[in-house]
Amino acid sequence: MTTRPKSPPKDRAASATPATAARAFLFSGKLPPRAVFYSRVRRGGKYAFALVFVTLVIGMVGYHELEDISWLDSFHQSALLLSGMGPVVEMDSVAGKLFDGIYALFCGIILLAATGLLFAPVFHHILHRFHIEDTRDG
């Protein structure tokens, strides 16, 4: 039976990712490095973009199939509802009106969720900073 030669121990500080760096600062009483903060902002931005993109596609397909609107007008209608501006095209069918109402309510929720995903890392950073200042006082 042959044994493998032991490799030298890895330098954990040199191979630290933002996630491991965040864990290292979890109970140290210090703010994590800026790389950790930026990675959290980037992750929140990716999730918010994906959520908005999927919602936009759902609206485009719904308007195109239910109301027989062109793809460009479907995009325009979906984008304006998703941004909170309101509908542009008048719906003719009952199914189109139901979809329009449900999609408008859904877009309001998605707008709030995407905003929360974007600002959560910033609020977390601010609250973490206040907590550190509070523990230093007493």
Query: What confidence tens digit (pLDDT) does each residue in 70-124 have?
Result: 999 999 999 999 988 878 888 889 999 999 999 999 999 999 999 999 998 888 8
- Integer CA distances (angstroms), 111 to 32, 94, 99, 107, 134, in order: 29, 26, 18, 6, 34
Dump pLDDT digits (tens) for 7-21.
655 555 555 666 665
What pLDDT was estimated at residue 66? 93
Dump pLDDT digits (tens) for 19-65.
665 565 555 667 778 888 889 889 999 999 999 999 999 999 999 99
Gap between the Cα atoms of 94 and 4, Å rounded: 72
Enter the CATH code of domain 43-137.
1.10.287.70
